[in-house]
């Protein structure tokens, strides 16, 4: 039963992640995301070699992605929604806030409402990754009024989420997918936390003053993980009640972080490298290290991280979920 529950929740998260990937203004950023398949009948759409105009057109399509399932499939959702209506369902990574990667008030609103219709209790919305701190504060400033308009409750603890669930309210917190905004200035941890950023990654794929990212996974002999400043970041996060996220971190960083942290850590949108060997995915050693902290590894629905043919359908996602569980 526990694995079935994890499977259902992870499937919801994976599908939601695929649906919410959007890009419009920043075509260079869009290139990282456009391969993933909300359009599940076009698994192999490839941005490589295509013009910026075609990539932007594809990004806009994904940002406004139509429902790809049949009426019968959607009707079947009601059975599971009824079965798990009392469960707390968390979307661990919604890569959307007002202004980030071309998102507008409308696209952010549409994303939140899709979560609400799916029975999601809580969403974690991205307000930055590799963006300067000033931009991140701007994304938060522009998103906060929409959060109020949508009757979402910003929360800072698990008890807040439980209380909101009991009262029928949907909750939100913000996340940062990297710490490249002020790489050597840990004072920004407290500043962003005060604005509702309760989940923070070390690094977005590459390397910074805190840690190494997933790009280092391609070399199995490279065990470089977190730095001394990275350890100080973990300590500060633990003290302030911030969840440390290792989704874009190397395996070495994830394992190091699990050893240093005194609180559970999170991989908010990772898949299993044992199922599909992609540097963005996590090894069994990394998964076990996170589990040993009492933390969680949540799958994502990005096709190129799921299988060789970029198959983002439910059975492929389920294979990763079952292995991680």
Average pLDDT over residues 231-240: 94
Average pLDDT over residues 96-104: 85
Average pLDDT over residues 176-180: 83
For 72, the token pair is 């019968």
Q: Distance between CA atoms of 308 and 325, rounded to whole angstroms?
A: 22
pLDDT in tens, 42-51: 455 677 788 8
pLDDT band at 281 (very low <50, low <70, confident <90, very high): very high
pLDDT band at 35 (very low <50, low <70, confident <90, very high): very low
Q: What are the residue boundaries of the structural domains of the chain, listed by start?
A: 2-324
Least confident piece of the model among 8-17, 76-85, 102-111, 127-136: 8-17
The closest alpha carbon to 206, from 257, 241, 253, belongs to 253
For 143, the token pair is 């998103």
Helices marked H in 118-150 — which ranges? 133-149
| Residue 168 near residue 120, CB atoms below 8 Å | no
For 208, the token pair is 């910074």
| Residue 57 near residue 38, CB atoms below 8 Å | no
Q: Is 273 exposed, middle or buried (0-12, 13-18, 19+ CB in 10 A)?
A: buried
pLDDT in tens, 117-164: 989 999 999 998 877 788 889 999 999 999 999 999 999 899 999 999
Q: Distance between CA atoms of 178 and 249, rounded to whole angstroms?
A: 9
Residues 6+ apart with CB under 8 A from 127: 97, 100, 136, 139, 140, 143, 174, 175, 176, 197
Half-sphere exposure of 281 (CA within 13 A, CB side): 25
- 108 against 12, higher pLDDT: 108
Cβ-defined contacts of 146-152 (< 8 Å, 24+): 146/98, 146/105, 146/108, 146/109, 147/172, 150/109, 150/112, 150/113, 152/112
Q: What are phi and psi of 172, to 5 degrees?
A: -150, 150
The closest alpha carbon to 233, from 250, 246, 222, belongs to 246
- 239 against 55, higher pLDDT: 239
pLDDT in tens, 295-317: 999 999 888 899 888 888 888 99
Q: Is 213 exposed, middle or buried (0-12, 13-18, 19+ CB in 10 A)?
A: buried
Average pLDDT, the chain: 82
| Residue 240 near residue 189, CB atoms below 8 Å | yes
Distances (CA, A) of 57 to 52, 279, 301: 9, 28, 21
Q: What are phi and psi of 120, to 5 degrees?
A: -70, 135
Task: Identify the pLDDT of residue 5.
Answer: 41
| Residue 103 near residue 96, CB atoms below 8 Å | yes
- 66 against 178, higher pLDDT: 178
The alpha carbons of the chain give a radius of gyration, in whole angstroms, of 18
CATH number listed for the domain at residues 2-324: 3.20.20.140
Task: Identify the pLDDT of residue 208.
Answer: 87
With a cut of 70, say whether residue 181 has pLDDT above it: no
The model's pTM: 0.78
């Amino acid at each position: 039963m526990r694995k079935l529950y994890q499977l259902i929740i992870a499937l919801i998260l994976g599908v939601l992640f695929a649906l919410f990937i959007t890009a419009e203004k920043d075509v260079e950023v869009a290139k990282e995301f456009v391969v993933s398949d909300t359009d599940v009948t076009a698994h192999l759409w490839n941005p490589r070699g295509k013009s910026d105009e075609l990539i932007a057109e594809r990004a806009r399509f994904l940002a406004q992605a139509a429902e790809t399932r049949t009426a019968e499939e959607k009707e079947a959702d009601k059975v599971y929604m009824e079965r798990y209506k009392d469960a707390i369902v968390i979307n661990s990574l919604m890569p959307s806030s007002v202004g980030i990667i071309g998102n507008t008030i409308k696209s952010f609103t549409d994303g939140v409402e899709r979560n609400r219709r799916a029975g999601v209790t809580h969403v974690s919305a991205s307000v930055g990754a590799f963006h300067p701190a000033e931009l991140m504060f701007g994304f938060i400033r522009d998103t906060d009024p929409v959060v109020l308009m949508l009757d979402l409750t910003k929360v800072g603890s698990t008890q807040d989420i439980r209380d909101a669930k009991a009262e029928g309210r949907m909750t939100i917190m913000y996340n940062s997918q990297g710490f490249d905004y002020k790489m050597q200035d840990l004072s920004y941890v407290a500043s962003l936390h005060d604005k509702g950023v309760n989940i923070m990654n070390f690094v977005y794929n590459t390397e910074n003053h805190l840690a190494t990212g997933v790009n280092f996974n391609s070399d199995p002999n490279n065990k470089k993980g977190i730095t001394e400043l990275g350890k100080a970041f973990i300590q500060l996060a633990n003290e302030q009640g911030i969840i440390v996220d290792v989704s874009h971190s190397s395996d070495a960083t994830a394992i190091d972080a699990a050893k240093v942290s005194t609180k559970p850590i999170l991989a908010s949108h990772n898949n299993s490298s044992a199922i599909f060997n992609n540097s963005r995915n996590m090894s069994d050693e990394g998964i076990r290290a996170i589990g040993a902290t009492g933390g969680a590894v949540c799958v994502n629905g990005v096709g190129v991280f799921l299988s060789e043919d970029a198959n983002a359908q439910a059975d492929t996602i389920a294979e990763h979920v079952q292995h991680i569980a």
